Amino acid sequence: MNKKLLSLVLVAALAMSLLAGCGSKEEPKTTTAAAADTTAAAADNETEAPADTTAAAGDETTAAAAGGNTTGETIRVGYAQVGHESDWRTANTKNYQDVFSADNGYELSFVDCDNDNAAQLEAVRGFIQQELDYIVIAPIETAGWDTVLQEAQDAGIPVIIADREIDAPDTLYDAWVGTNTKNEGITAANWLAEYLDGKEANILVIEGSVGASATLGRTEGFNEVAAEHSEWKILDSQSGDFTQAGGQEVMESFIKSYEGQFNVVVCQNDNEAYGAMDAMKAANITYGVDGDVIIISFDATHDGLQYTLDGAINCNVECNPIQAGVVEEVIQAMAAGSDYEKTTLVNDEAFVAPGITSEYATTMTEDILAGRAY
């Protein structure tokens, strides 16, 4: 049994499918649970999952059962969300609004912190003042959390860190639910090595938001594998802030400095890839499976996978935004006073354009795209 199949069997045995809300482009005002079922299977790559994590639990029925507050009283949850910078973020926000709905027995205080650290700390302090029951934080940056987490702890409010990671002692928060972005970076580089098969790579990287663990992880993971390939050169690496405008701007400046010298562009999320494609098109630079430039992207959102299916993006490494169901199960366990996992890893996989077969990624098909929930 090949490694990928083995890991799929392992993950299937361990994890159940996640309940997923359907993503939408606009910031949803109110939402109804339009849940579809996605199975998050892990793609195998060279590193181990971090210690003491469990695969995301909760198949559709479990999540539906858990998709409801069984304590008999309304639970007040604060969610300090990164912002609205990307399609990934929109899908993540909608998922939280679907799961922590009034119908499900919750009162969700949702704050879109617009990628602003100060606003995010203020939002958390606001949750503490309102004496909410639980605080969930998707941290914009890894740094600067100790003081406010101590304040939440002193106020006796459990805190769940979600999506991204923070640089703080894990005694300062009660649980973590998210993805392993270093593994995502490693998967992307492992795929590139397989695809290039020894050929040279002159690589440009459009990084995510400065100081975000997703940026740090993808960069660290990719660079760790890149260091094993003397035939690769990373020409430049700049932040596109996880936005389409940022991706376009950085790609335009890269073209000015490196036109004709690069054959790989790594975009640390789909929205940056859309911007990079616009910039390359405007400069008559071809990309994708039939082009001169290989594009690697992250997130595997709906439009990102459409571009992958179309061959415009060669490889797209998923980062699963559908995490609210797992966060809810942690909150329900806390409310019931029962055990819960301190860290829960939401599994990802990777996808490649039709015509590409890979040990590290699944070849895209119409059916896969049709079956995706975001």
Q: Please report, as ranges, the residues that interact with ligand GZL according to CB under 6 A.
A: 85-86, 88-89, 163-164, 179, 181, 214, 242, 269, 298-299, 319
Q: In what order do the strands lie in the sheet with 201-207?
A: 232-239, 201-207, 264-267, 294-299, 315-318, 350-352, 362-363
Element at 191 (helix H, strand E): helix 181-196
Contact partner at residue 173 from Zn ion, ligand GZL, none, CB < 5 to 8 Å by partner kind = none
Degrees, nearest 5: CA angle 333-336-340: 25
Contact partner at residue 85 from ligand GZL, Zn ion, none, CB < 5 to 8 Å by partner kind = ligand GZL
Q: At what angle do helices 270-282 and 302-309 cross, to 10 degrees?
A: 50
CB of 228 to Zn ion, least distance (A): 6
Nearer to ligand GZL, 217 or 311 (CB): 217
CB of 205 to ligand GZL, least distance (A): 14
Nearer to ligand GZL, 84 or 233 (CB): 84
Please report, for the chain, how many H helices and E strands are present, in that order: 12, 16
Q: Confirm if 42 and 7 have CB atoms less than 8 A apart.
A: yes
Contact partner at residue 267 from Zn ion, ligand GZL, none, CB < 5 to 8 Å by partner kind = none
CB of 9 to ligand GZL, least distance (A): 26
Place of tokens 């181990």: 48
The letter for the amino acid at 329 is: E
Which residue in the shown chain puts its C-beta closest to Zn ion? Answer: 229
Contact partner at residue 165 from Zn ion, ligand GZL, none, CB < 5 to 8 Å by partner kind = none
CB of 347 to ligand GZL, least distance (A): 13
Nearer to ligand GZL, 23 or 158 (CB): 23
Q: Confirm if 202 and 237 have CB atoms less than 8 A apart.
A: no
Q: What is the Cα gyration radius of the chain?
A: 20
Give, as ranges, the residues between 227 and 286 that touch Zn ion (CB under 5 A): 229
Q: Confirm if 324 and 136 have CB atoms less than 8 A apart.
A: no
3-state secondary structure of 275: helix
Nearer to ligand GZL, 4 or 89 (CB): 89
CB of 22 to ligand GZL, least distance (A): 17
Taking the C-alpha atoms of residue 335 and residue 331, their distance in angstroms, rounded to an integer, is 6
Contact partner at residue 163 from ligand GZL, Zn ion, none, CB < 5 to 8 Å by partner kind = ligand GZL
Contact partner at residue 229 from ligand GZL, Zn ion, none, CB < 5 to 8 Å by partner kind = Zn ion
Taking the C-alpha atoms of residue 54 and residue 74, their distance in angstroms, rounded to an integer, is 28
Nearer to ligand GZL, 85 or 133 (CB): 85
List residues near Zn ion by CB under 5 A.
Answer: 229
